[in-house]
Structure 1
Amino acid sequence: MKIAIICTLYPPYILGGAEKSTALLAQGLARNGHEVTVITTGKTNCKETIEGVTVYRLKNMNIYWRYPQRDKPLTKKMLWHLFDIYNIGYKKSLENLLLTLKPDIIHTNNLCGLSCIIWDIAQQQHIPIVHTLRDYYLLCPQQTMIKGIKSCQTQCLICKSYSVIKKVMSQKVNAVVGISNFILNHHLKFGYFKNAYLTCVIPNSIEPHNVSQYVTDNKKDVGYIGRLSPEKGIELMIEAFINSNNRGSNKLRIAGTGNKKYTDYLQQKYKNESIVFCGKCKSTDFFQTISLLIVPSLWNEPFGRVVIEAYSSHIPVLMASNGGLIELAENGISEIFSTDSTNPLTNLLNKYFNGSLYFNDTLFEQVLIQYTEDNVIKRYIELYNQLISKFQK
């Protein structure tokens, strides 16, 4: 099968879990014998092959490129998002590429930067479209649906204005996939994808790796890894840890980077020998230093791939009950907590430190089956075939 995968960024340009998940999907499909092409954005037009996947990078056609993310003046941001509603600058390149590639199916992912124009072009060329929801780009120009540190329950006037055309364009999509039930239902309730033949949930896959050793000593260091930003609940986590009965014998290790002003603020405010800011780390290395992961997100995470990455390293997880995270909770290897105050997380940490919170190490491999590459690829191939069959009738 000839599959064209469309996404904002593709490795080595990575901003978060979406890029990792899309790359794992593309490479997995290629390993399964399919002809996979990725169309993404870049500084310049170029073509390369990565892990059996042909990658076309199209020169940025907006006022700046999204990588790396840097603070921009408000007027520039507003203009960027205005052009990104329907970026006509990519029209000719995308039309010519698809006419040359003649894919059996187009699979769009994050579209921030390329815009929804791809759906128009695919429909004009009679190519069936699958879209995977990995963020809130279609509902919110910031892709997050966050105001302050809390998730928005409705669209504000600005988001509605920027999203009108995207909502109309979504009706051209033939099949839509949510990486969680939460993100799929969140879009459907706003009236998106009304004409989709198929809707389903397929989780992200986990990258297979061999962990050289799991934490085997009696140390109970806990940790967080990810972006350092207010909506991620970093301060709630730190306060809960400080309020716990840890007594300084175990550490809270915080890995990741973020806005320099915010990271400096965190490190100044929380000067404590028990709190260690580790900077940028590889997750598999970081998991060797902790025995419990905390995911304290205040916003509605679409999925939370760090949870399954922790599971794959046999690290149990305490996770916030927000968004798609709760769907990753598994009895015996994780616990969920409310983020309304620090108390629920503090109580769980107290139980963990005093030894009354138990996890079952034998359950990890059983849980991970649903996130294996083979399982996820199989489900996408089944979806592609169903859609092509319906499309041809």
Structure 2
Amino acid sequence: MSTEEKCTYIIVNRISYAGGAEQIAIKSALYIREIGFLVTIICISIEDDDLYNEIERSGIKIIVLEQRNYLSKGDSKDKYEKLWDQINDIYNPRIEIFIKKNIRPGSIVLAHKIRGFSPSIFKWISQLNCNVLYTTHDYEFFNYNAKIISGGYLSKLYYLLFRIKYLKYIDKILVPSQFLKNEISRIYKIDKNIEVLHNFIEDFKYKEGDIDRQFALGYFGRIEDIKGVKEFCAAAANTERKTIVVGQGSILADLKEEYKNSHFLFTGNVDKEDVLNYMRMTKVVVVPSLWNETFGLVVAEAISCGCFVLVSEFGALKEVLNLCPNRGRVISKSEIVDKSKFSEILKETSDKVNNLYINIDMLTISNYHKKLMELLDNVKIG
């Protein structure tokens, strides 16, 4: 079958580059269209008009699942009302009609971060004799109220129901790391149809030594307790090294107040280009997460920017670091939470800098596209 005969649908919750899942979904759509596939994006909302126009110019059709298709209001701020909204939409006949009306039978469907759709879309798409490849960066494949069900019997019930009711309709599960593959296999009791497809980073075109590295230490990411940024700031304050903290989050204001007269620069939220520029100005990037990261894009970006990288032992961070040996080291939770130990580690490494911009072969966008095409070529249509 020629590429023009292959009809591919990309399901993602919004048209935006704000999130990693959305970026991967949209760049995949643009590439698949470029090589000749017929591509349609189905989404919940459009948040970037310029990106929307770029997608349309490429020849990709965009279909929006409008709010009127929902049984619930969908705008509640209360977490329990949100959970009830989701339950209402599990078997929402309006979404079923929408899906079956807009997806051509016998197509390939790539689903990314389907929050806002009913989990029953997997069943409905399967009834159209389509092949489903589902990309997830999370343990909970669909649930967007993870805090409500995390731990205990509710969590176990969720995993059990998803495994029984929906996994059988998914042909391939695509995950960004071996760590997440192992976790999903363990949680859902499945050992096949899971493929590792590493996230990609943009190719850098900067030469060695082109920017002065004025910051000894840097943190890049969400400013939240689970990210270990509070422990990082406390330890960095002891080093008296110039430190930059890039990102937005619930504890940013508190940290800015606590370290307002010190050697810290808190940038708040900045766009992607500025993030990378600040990274190139930093010698050592620290990723001290205290929870299981399912990938760790900032690790790869920091290495590509020539930084030395310190990563915690949680999740896939070590896995990403190992893609490019000798560019950093792993620090344990006990070292992170002990301010004196953490400070000593930061002092020891703050003068290290690789100062060599490289592309990590396994994480280039070209390699991502190559592996994606291998998966699509192996899909049996219809």
2:332 maps to amino acid: S
Is 2:85 the counterpart of 1:59?
no
Quote the offset at 1:43 in angstroms: 7.0
Cα deviation, residue 169, structure 1: 0.4
- DSSP 3-state at the match of 2:85: helix
Match for 1:333 among 327, 330, 334?
327
The alpha carbon displacement at 1:190 in A equals: 1.8
Describe the shift of the 1:374–1:241 C-alpha distance in structure 2 as closer, same or farther (beyond 3 A).
same
Shift of 1:78: 2.8
Cα distance in 1 between the residues matched to 2:207 and 2:354: 20
- Cα contact 1:171–1:192 (8 A) shared by 2: no
Moved more, 270-279 or 162-171: 162-171
Q: CA deviation at 1:383?
A: 1.3
Counterpart of 2:374 (choices 371, 375, 382) is 382
When structure 1 is superposed on structure 2, of 34-43 and 338-347 the one drifting more is 338-347
Matches within 5 A, 1:316-355: 316-329=308-321, 330-340=324-334, 341-343=336-338, 345-353=342-350, 355=351
Match of 1:117 in 2: 120
Matched, 1:191 2:200: no
One-letter identity of the residue aligned with 1:348:
I
Superposition deviation, residue 350 in structure 1: 1.5
Q: 1:205 to 1:77 in 2, by over 3 A?
A: same
1:204 Cα deviation (Å)?
Answer: 0.7
Q: Write the letter of the residue equivalent to 1:207.
A: E
Does the 8 Å contact 1:171/1:193 carry over to 2? no
Whole-angstrom CA distance in 2 between matches of 1:377 and 1:8: 21
Match of residue 268 from structure 2: 279
TM-score (norm 1): 0.81
CA distance 1:79–1:126, shift in 2 (3 Å): same
Contact 1:293–1:315 (CA under 8 A) maintained in structure 2:
yes
Once the two structures are overlaid, the 10-residue window that deviates more, 71-80 or 107-116, is 71-80
Instruction: For residue 86 of structure 1, report the CA deviation from its aligned partner.
Output: 4.9
The residue aligned with 1:227 is 222
State the alpha-carbon separation in 2 of the partners of residues 255 and 137 from structure 1: 28
Unaligned runs of 5+ in 1: 66-70
Match of 1:68 in 2: none
Cα–Cα, structure 1 residues 236 and 85, in superposed 2: closer, same or farther, change >3 Å?
farther
> Deviation of residue 290 (structure 1)?
1.9
One-letter amino acid of the counterpart of residue 74, structure 2: Y
Paired residue for 1:251, among 231, 236, 242?
A: 242
Task: Report the CA distance between 1:89 and its aligned residue.
Answer: 3.8
- In the TM superposition, residue 359 of structure 1 has moved relative to its aligned partner by 4.9
Give the equivalent residue in structure 1 for 2:135.
Answer: 132
Q: Which residue of 2 aligns with 1:158?
A: 154
Indicate how the Cα distance of structure 1 residues 281 and 141 shifts in structure 2: closer, same or farther if over 3 A, else same.
closer
Shift of 1:163: 4.4
| Contact 1:36–1:54 under 8 Å retained in 2 | yes
Kept in 2: contact 1:234–1:296 (CA 8 A): yes
Count, aligned residues: 360
What is the distance in 2 between the residues matched to 1:83 and 1:301? 31
**Ranges in structure 2 where 5+ consecutive residues have no aligned partner:** none
Picking from 214, 233, 237, the partner of 2:232 is: 237
**Partner secondary structure for residue 249 of structure 2:** coil
Aligned partner of 1:157: which letter? Y
Whole-Å separation in 1 of the counterparts to 2:168 and 2:122: 9
Confirm or deny: 8 A CA contact 1:177 1:200 kept in the other structure: yes
* SS in structure 1 at match of 2:360: helix
SS across alignment from 2:325: coil
Structure 1 residue matching 2:333: 3-state secondary structure: coil
Measured after TM superposition, the shift of residue 87 of structure 1 is 4.6
CA contact (8 A) 1:7 1:108 kept: yes
Task: Write the deviation string for residues 57-106 of structure 1: whole angstroms up to 9, x where unpaired.
Answer: 211335336xxxxx92233233234335555442111111103xx56311
